Amino acid sequence: MRLKGKVAIVTGSARGLGKAMALKMAAEGAKVVVCDLNYEGCVAVKEEIEQNGGKALAVRCDVTSREEVAALVAQTMDNFSQIDILVNNAGITRDAQIIKMTDQQWDEVINTNLKSMFICIQEVIKVMIPRNYGRIVNITSIAALEGNFGQTNYAAAKAGIIGLTKTLSKELGRKGITVNAVAPGFMDTEMTKTIPAHIQEQLLARIPLRRAGQPEEAAEAVVFLASDAASYITGQTLSVNGGLYV
């Protein structure tokens, strides 16, 4: 098992891509902290992990709140005594064309999708640096690479994640901490199921593999970057998009 003996925090892991990442990490031997605003969802994922023989902790956390993130780190340490992996996955959308986008829509997306990573990383590295070891994986998006109509706020936040990742790889490498990003494309999740059928068809037509990605495929990329197999990889963005953007 690639993550045996490791402890991983996965934000936004009550459903969708985050849930797949939490389940895959647990299957690979990690003790997983399932973190989300949706506590009931966290508990459900925790129970699924435990039913499959793994160990997990469910924590409700608003990742835009430094106090709650600090409490998340403390609770993780109380239960598992270490933190080896942080997967920054929590994110939201508040779509609108730029002429109609409100300050609230902009601020909510920037705070949840980008500032939260700044907060989570700052708090978690307080534990990682003394051990001279850590794996940080930030979830960005194909929208960061090619933009997306009606998602100025989302694309800006996701592009910011790539800059954050590159910079922190330089700052934290000497501390034994790698920082990488995964950029999913059109994935088969609850969020994409709300896209109108004709738009989905247009997207699928652009994908060389002619299908949506599965959450488990994004999870595989995250597990690889979090594992010792990727110990000499840092500052990189790994696209998981079926060739939609190359």
What pLDDT does residue 190 have?
81
pLDDT at 191 over 80: no
Is residue 157 a part of any domain in this protein?
A: yes
If you average pLDDT over residues 184-191, what whole number do you get? 90
Is residue 240 a part of any domain in this protein?
A: no
Distances (CA, A) of 61 to 37, 125, 178: 5, 18, 24
Weakest mean pLDDT among 73-87, 114-128, 199-213: 199-213
Is residue 241 a part of any domain in this protein?
A: no
Considering its fold, how many domains does the chain have in total? 1
Is residue 19 a part of any domain in this protein?
A: yes
Is residue 244 a part of any domain in this protein?
A: no
pLDDT at 122 over 80: yes
Residue 179's domain is classified under what CATH number? 3.40.50.720
pLDDT at 102 over 90: yes
Is residue 246 a part of any domain in this protein?
A: no
Q: Which residues contact 229 (CB under 8 A, 6 or more apart)?
A: 2
Is residue 57 a part of any domain in this protein?
A: yes
* Domain extent for 91: 7-235
If you average pLDDT over residues 194-217, what whole number do you get? 91
Distances (CA, A) of 236 to 150, 158, 164, 220: 27, 14, 11, 16
Is residue 56 a part of any domain in this protein?
A: yes
What is the rounded CA–CA span in Å between residue 105 and residue 121? 24
What is the rounded CA–CA span in Å between residue 113 and residue 130? 27
Kindly state the helix (H) or strand (E) to which residue 58 belongs, with its residue range: strand 56-60
Q: Is 143 left (phi over 0), alpha (psi -120 to 50) or beta?
A: alpha
Q: Which residues contact 197 (CB under 8 A, 6 or more apart)?
A: none
Provide the annotated active-site residues: 154
